[in-house]
Amino acid sequence: MNHHSNPSLPVVLTIGGFDPSSGAGITADLKTFSAHNCYGVAAITALTIQNTQGTTACQGVDPSLLKRSIETLLADERIKAIKVGMLWNKAAASVVREILEATSTLPAVLDPVIRATSGLELLDAEGLEFLKAHLLARVRLVTPNLDEAALLTGLKVENVESMKAAARKLVEMGAKAAVVTGGHLDKAVDVLFDGTEFETFVGDRIKPDNTHGTGCTFASAIAANLALGRPLHDAVVLSKAYVTEAIRKAYAVGPGRLPLNHLYRMQQNPRGTDHADVGPEPVH
């Protein structure tokens, strides 16, 4: 039994792929959780071979091992939120459905990773159909980028109006809320639809090559903010501000696409003083 009297940090579980370059996947998630004063734990769905120049291969983890890993972490009974990222195949997605059903009171954020920037498929066709049919309805929020939103909805998604249409379609498909991210547009626009209202968040494009892992980081930041008890809207605003600054503070770790600087707050606040980002201006 643990008798420590120190207050504990909220624990956030990430379920996703392992990026050995630490720009995306569970390593990015864990850094993001730490940056938000949360404690991260992780279950790996797949191992990738990649660096800043691209992803070249992937190997899935045995689904029975994945399930045991997650159930063992949940047995500690301290987890306050779940972030789901790369699933790789239907077998892993089936495990995640079971987990989400068993933890339905916890807020969960789904980042529907489908394809690497290099073109490598990171979710097979059966897995994609399973995700649409069974996972969308079991999370608090889904956070696709333009390409992912198009693959999920079958719509052409290339501007703000079509982003709104895709977000609405995702909710019609079962999602409680959706954020479609438009970091590749001329302006970094994100569209939130909570099932009732739309809200558009506009920011400047900063260092467009420093974007390896932005989707993972955005979703994990939202999960951390939800674990801290913040409302969904506030979690999205704060997470967009965090990602924007992490892109701004990115630095070269290789010759390819640079990862975000997830821990920039620790560098500018070395004594651990609190730092509150000012969120982007919402446009209704």
pLDDT of residue 271: 52
The two tokens of residue 254 are 């290789």
Spatial separation of the C-alpha atoms in residues 182 and 280, rounded to whole Å: 14
List Cβ neighbours of 50 (8 Å cut-off, separation of 6 or more). Answer: 19, 20, 21, 56, 116, 118
pLDDT by 10s per residue, the chain, length 284: 555 555 689 999 999 999 998 889 999 999 999 999 999 999 999 999 988 888 888 999 999 999 999 999 999 989 999 999 999 999 999 999 999 999 999 999 999 999 987 778 899 999 999 999 999 999 999 999 999 999 999 999 999 999 999 999 999 999 999 999 987 677 789 999 999 999 999 877 776 666 788 999 999 999 999 999 999 999 999 999 999 999 988 878 888 777 889 999 887 665 544 444 545 545 44
Q: DSSP letter string over 91-109?
A: HHHHHHHHHHHHTTTS-EE
Q: What DSSP state is assigned to residue 134?
A: I
Is 0.85 surpassed by the pTM of this model? yes
pLDDT of residue 117: 75
Burial of residue 235 (number of CB atoms within 10 Å: 0-12, 13-18, 19+) = buried
pLDDT of residue 61: 96
Fold assignment, 11-262: UDP-N-acetylmuramoyl-L-alanine:D-glutamate ligase (3.40.1190)
**Is-contact 58 47, C-beta < 8 A?**
yes
**Is-contact 222 236, C-beta < 8 A?**
yes
pLDDT of residue 213: 86
* Angle made by CA atoms 86, 253, 277, in degrees to the nearest 5: 70
Task: Label the pairing between strands 141-142 and 54-60.
Answer: unpaired
Give the bridge partners for 82, in sequence order: 13, 108
Helices 63-74 and 90-102, packing angle to 10 deg: 20
Burial of residue 147 (number of CB atoms within 10 Å: 0-12, 13-18, 19+) = middle
Q: DSSP letter string over 26-86?
A: HHHHHHHHHHTT-EEEEEEEEEEEEETTEEEEEEEPPHHHHHHHHHHHHTT--EEEEEE--
List Cβ neighbours of 56 (8 Å cut-off, separation of 6 or more). Answer: 49, 50, 118, 120
Read off φ and ψ for residue 107, nearest 5 degrees. Answer: -70, 135
**Is-contact 264 249, C-beta < 8 A?**
yes
Task: Label the pairing between strands 79-84 and 108-110.
Answer: parallel
